[in-house]
Amino acid sequence: MTPRRRRRAPPDAPAGGLLDWRDSSHWSWTPKPCRYCGHDTHLRDGKRSPAHKTCAEEALARQAAEAADAYQNGQL
């Protein structure tokens, strides 16, 4: 009889936000202006555009709210 394998628990959500930018691909040594607020940042989003994590999360929340409003108003 072979032993049963235990399923691993899903990883915990990152604390304090929606996006997980712990990977080194989100860092650059060259500061550039954030695409949302214009202040310099070393962080890069998934498409390598300069963006603060908090600015990107606010933009995602705003887009989700706009999409929900459009859906409720029958615009989608």
How far apart, in whole angstroms, are the C-alpha atoms of residue 11 and residue 71?
32
Buried b (16+ CB within 10 A) or exposed e, 20-42: ebeeeebeeeeeeebbbeeeebe
Which secondary-structure segment (H or E) carries 47? Answer: none
Q: What is the pLDDT of residues 18-71, one digit of tens each?
A: 788 898 999 999 999 999 999 999 999 989 999 999 999 999 999 999 998 888
Query: What residue ranges do the domains of the chain occupy?
Result: 24-72
Write down the pTM of the prediction: 0.68
pLDDT computed for residue 76 by the predictor: 58
